[in-house]
A = this chain, B = another copy of it.
Amino acid sequence: MCSVTAKRDLSPQQNRPHYCAICKRILEILINANGTYVSGEHMSSELGISRAAVWKHIKILEGEGYEIESTSGIGYRMVVIPDVLDSKTILYGLKTLRFGHQLEIYGTIDSTNSRAKRLALDEASEGTVVIADTQSAGRGRLDRIWVSPAKKGLWLSVILRPSIKPERAPELTVLAAIATVRALENFAGLNASIKWPNDVVINGKKLCGILAESQAEPDVIRSIVMGIGINVNMQRDDFPDELKDLATSLFIEKDKVFSRRELLLILLENFEAIYDEYLKNNDLSPFLEFYKSRSVTLGRNVKVIARTSSFEGFALDIDKDGALLVRECDGSIRKILSADVSVRGESGYV
């Protein structure tokens, strides 16, 4: 009577379950009821099928992870939506005005940033989000590989169109890091820190990476694609050997499985709020106090490794544009716009 299949192609929503029209309609009715009961009789007449048939479709949905409470004489109500990145359930939960309202969801994609960059060239609106269960060619800064095991993390890209000069692009990475830290706090009660410029860490291990890719003319930024990767339900064995001691996940930290969907909703909400405040003031400064308070880089001896040279110094401050100010041995202060920065710990630089 009804089947659930997973398509395998490279179009959005691939690998999403494909429900029959009746299942889809039942989902819609129950989700719109917002946690209240809907009688079997109502659904039966709405759908033009028997109450027994309604029940059969409910069972199929339960098999897909939906928890639907059924109370005799009252009806059905949605209790738990499974952690499937599905546009319907995401759009239903969004509390943002723009972020995530345009949404592309992939089972597998090369890289959400690559796709979002193309969408940005095609005039996609600000706040458009690309998300995937897994990336076959996920990237971090400087073409480093980003490991993104299927359905175990949140791998997404948001298109921003701030009307600012290109040299201010690094400010957006600061905002994204703050939004991620705040979302992790709201969502999982985690007190994460920021390793300049773009890592969110906990106990020195990487929980999240951020990669901003900008498209600009000399006078103005046309788009910034903000890629955010958060290790959500990865276990230690999900990381390759060389990362096992360097990376962590929410699951590892809290010994608990988290909903990617819920985290996505909270992240987008935090990011939009922070971004809109930034646009309103056209200024990063109001955010720097929080950023500095969470920095594991400031006030430490650091090694700055740029592409052609490296030097050691003391991480003095974050400049008003998000740059790192490092004091060298001779007392001079260097402004670092981008580089790898290792912090000196007890056993050397990490």
Contact = CB atoms under 8 A, between A and B. Distances in A.
Interface of A: 114, 117-118, 121, 141-142, 165-167, 169-170, 173, 197-198, 211-220, 222, 307, 337-339
Q: Number of copies of this chain in the oligomer?
A: 2
Contact of A214 (B121, B198, B215, B337): B215
A217 B141 contact: yes
Contacts of A337: 165, 167, 218
A218 B338 contact: yes
A218 B121 contact: no
| Closest 5 A/B residue pairs (Cβ) | A218-B338, A219-B338, A215-B215, A213-B217, A214-B216
Nearest to A218: B338
A165 B216 contact: no
A340 to B, nearest CB: 9
Given A121-B121, A215-B214, A220 B165 contact: no
A294 to B, nearest CB: 19
A197 B213 CA distance: 25
B169 A218 contact: yes
A170 B218 contact: yes
A71 B242 CA distance: 75
A220 B339 CA distance: 10
Residue of A169, A173, A216, A307 with highest tally of chain B CB at under 10 A: A216
Contacts of A117: 121, 215
B169 A338 contact: no
B219 A211 contact: no
Contacts of A166: 166, 169, 214, 338
Contacts of A212: 217-218
A214 B212 CA distance: 14
16 contacts: A118-B121, A121-B121, A142-B217, A142-B219, A142-B220, A166-B166, A169-B216, A173-B218, A198-B218, A212-B217, A213-B215, A214-B215, A214-B216, A215-B215, A215-B216, A219-B338
Given A118-B121, A166-B166, A167-B167, A211 B217 contact: yes
A219 to B, nearest CB: 4
